[in-house]
Amino acid sequence: MKKEFELHFLPIADEDITEIIDYIAEDKISAAVSFYDGLEKRFLQLTTHPYLGTKRREPDLAHKGYYSLVHDNYIIFYTIEQSAVVIHRVLSGYRDYLTLLK
């Protein structure tokens, strides 16, 4: 039986998700719902496969133990801490995420 990791979200990650969903919903609510459903599936994957993402190689991110997982045009940045996956940010791949993660 696989170990299941807890899932924790930093408050700023919750804000990121809300902003993304609101932005997508401005154009099409069904697209926002679909995006959220897919994002939720990605989070659930991390509870059983926390190393599914890519270990970040940028020095600042690697030092902090960041992993990332892509969902559409967005990147989920997370760390693995004991028996928990901690979601730090969910950011557009077009943004300067190195600056935002400092």
What are the C-alpha distances in Å from 58 to residues 15, 17, 65, 81, 100?
24, 24, 10, 19, 14
With 70 as the cut, is the pLDDT of residue 1 above it? Answer: no
Q: Is residue 74 part of a domain?
A: yes
pTM above 0.75, yes or no: yes
Give the CATH number of the domain where residue 48 resides: 3.30.2310.20
Q: Look at residue 58 in the predicted model and tell me its pLDDT.
A: 94
Q: Is residue 44 part of a domain?
A: yes
HEC readout, 36-52? HHHHHHHHHHHHHCCCC
Model confidence pLDDT, tens digit, residues 60-96: 999 999 999 999 999 999 999 999 999 999 999 999 9
Query: Containing domain of residue 24, as a range?
Result: 6-100
pLDDT at 2 over 80: no
Count structural domains, the chain.
Answer: 1
Taking all residues of the chain, what is their mean pLDDT, rounded to a whole number?
Answer: 95
Q: Report if residue 35 sits inside a domain.
A: yes
pLDDT value at position 19?
A: 97
Q: Which residue spans within the chain are E strands per DSSP?
A: 6-9, 54-55, 67-71, 74-81, 84-92
The answer to whether the beta carbons of residues 55 and 62 sit under 8 Å apart is: yes
> Is residue 48 domain-resident?
yes
